[in-house]
């Protein structure tokens, strides 16, 4: 260890994402963490933190670490196959995470489900629902964007995109938004058990919808495309469909809610950027990456686990130890970005790693960005003089991200 690092206080004293200081301004703490080296032990989480983008990108690309939650040293015991519920069948038996070869097969054969034409069709499907949300707001002087719009978008997008009939919506809505907690390593066992129970109910609905869809005509939705892929590709099965749908739920629930509120906040803090950001879906795709960079809203990272005792970036890891990859630590580093405090929706990202990199690049990235683009264009069309009604209060209960309890806006009509 260098003399300069030896003289520094313990990392726990300068980096605490649960603190009010981090909520208000995470940048100093992120830069302090990144300065400690490529792989930093963080005692409160019993985890190593990977801080540097070249190492993170190499990890995404070459996958030396496990993505399987059950490989974590503190994970519950992996249940035997004869005791699997539907959750285990999806997340162990047909996991997109654990089996690298099968993951690549799934990504290859399902590429048509994420084509530009499909994304355009999904926009057509969700557009009436988004317009109705804004119609229902009317013309008040002020409203809470999270309550009136943002919290409804994930469910609308997921159900319309997949093709879940409206008769299933009441039950599906109660169980789908907790799905991402089912493999979260930072929450209590009791909370995780409830998320697994909810996930099993959601899977029951998905299986029922699949059975119904097999008996009906082809439709222009994600589920119909996957059924066609299943019929044409050996090795791609019904449980792969279930797992893909769950992956889209996981990518589109909490993350979409967060992205909605931060996009509105960032654009209203930088109103000169709005025209360029909303110029086209392609322009917004880049603008969204800049919004999320500028906001620096992450607390955690991408969890991986040491599959065996190993050396990584000069550190000795024990089997099962967690490694958290934190690409957001670079977001306000002047060595990585010019003028990082300035939001510039035309900033170039090469490569753009917001949604991952390599074989683990988020399969729903284009769909996520399109629904946010659609919401923003409708919002600013209705309320072209929209402004913040003061600084929003941070949500202290959010363990994963810096988020808001409310996002009050003035319409200025």
Cα–Cα distance, 150 to 146 (Å, whole number): 5
Cβ atoms 219, 122 nearer than 8 A: no
Query: How confident is residue 14, by pLDDT bands cut at 50, 70 and 90?
Result: very high
Q: What is the mean pLDDT of residues 327-348?
A: 95
More confident residue, 162 or 391: 391
DSSP character at residue 183: G
Rounded (10°) angle between helices 153-162 and 222-232: 40
Query: How confident is residue 185, by pLDDT bands cut at 50, 70 and 90?
Result: low
Provide the CATH number for the domain around residue 70: 1.10.630.10
Task: Please check the confidence at residue 186 and state whether its pLDDT lies above 70.
Answer: no
Q: What is the mean pLDDT of residues 241-266?
A: 81
The residue length of the chain stands at: 413
Domain total in the chain: 1
Domain interval for residue 174? 3-410
Nearest to 245 by CA among 117, 90, 97, 118: 90
Residues 6+ apart with CB under 8 A from 85: 196, 200
Query: How confident is residue 179, by pLDDT bands cut at 50, 70 and 90?
Result: low
| Percent of the chain's residues with pLDDT above 70 | 90
Neighbours of 70 (CB within 10 A): 19
Task: Please check the confidence at residue 282 and state whether its pLDDT lies above 80.
Answer: yes
pLDDT for residue 118: 73
Task: Please check the confidence at residue 81 and state whether its pLDDT lies above 90.
Answer: no
pLDDT for residue 3: 43
Of 2-6, 298-302, 309-313, the range with the lowest mean pLDDT is 2-6
pLDDT for residue 12: 94
More confident residue, 253 or 23: 23
Q: For residue 348, give the 3-state DSSP assignment.
A: coil
Cα–Cα distance, 15 to 33 (Å, whole number): 6
């Amino acid at each position: 260890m260098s003399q300069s690092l030896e003289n520094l206080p313990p990392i726990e004293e300068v980096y605490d994402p649960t603190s009010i200081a981090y909520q208000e301004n995470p940048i100093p703490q992120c830069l302090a963490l990144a300065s400690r080296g490529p792989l930093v032990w963080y005692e409160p989480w019993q985890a190593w933190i990977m801080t540097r983008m070249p190492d993170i990108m190499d990890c995404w690309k070459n996958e030396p670490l496990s993505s399987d939650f059950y490989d974590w040293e503190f994970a519950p015991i992996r249940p035997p196959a004869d005791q699997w519920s539907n959750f285990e069948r999806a997340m162990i038996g047909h996991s997109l995470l654990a089996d690298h070869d099968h993951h690549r097969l799934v990504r290859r054969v399902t590429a048509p489900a994420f084509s530009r034409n499909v994304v355009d069709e999904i926009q057509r499907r969700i557009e009436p629902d988004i317009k109705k949300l804004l119609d229902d707001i009317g013309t008040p002087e002020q409203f809470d964007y999270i309550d009136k719009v943002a919290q409804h978008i994930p469910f609308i997008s997921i159900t319309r995109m997949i093709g879940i009939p409206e008769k299933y919506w009441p039950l599906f809505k109660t169980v789908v938004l907790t799905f991402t907690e089912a493999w979260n390593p930072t929450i209590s066992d009791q909370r995780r058990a409830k998320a697994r129970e909810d996930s099993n109910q959601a899977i029951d609905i998905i299986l029922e919808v699949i059975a119904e869809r097999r008996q009906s005509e082809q439709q222009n939705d994600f589920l119909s495309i996957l059924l066609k892929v299943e019929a044409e590709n050996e090795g791609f099965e019904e449980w792969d469909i279930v797992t893909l749908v769950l992956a889209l739920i996981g990518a589109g629930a909490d993350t979409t809610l967060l992205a909605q509120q931060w996009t509105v906040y960032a654009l209203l803090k930088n109103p000169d950027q709005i025209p360029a950001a909303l110029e086209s879906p392609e322009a917004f795709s880049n603008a969204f990456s800049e919004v999320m960079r500028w906001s620096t809203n992450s607390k955690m990272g991408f969890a991986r686990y040491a599959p065996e005792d190993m050396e990584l970036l000069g550190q000795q890891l024990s089997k099962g130890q967690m490694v958290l990859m934190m690409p957001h630590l670079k977001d306000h580093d002047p060595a990585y970005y010019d003028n990082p405090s300035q939001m510039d929706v035309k900033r170039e990202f090469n490569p753009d790693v917001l949604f991952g990199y390599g074989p683990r690049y988020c399969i729903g990235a284009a769909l996520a960005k399109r629904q946010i683009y659609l919401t923003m264009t409708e919002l600013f069309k209705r309320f072209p003089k929209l402004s913040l009604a003061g600084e929003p209060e941070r949500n202290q209960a959010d363990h994963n991200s810096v988020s808001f309890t409310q996002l009050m806006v003035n319409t200025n009509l």
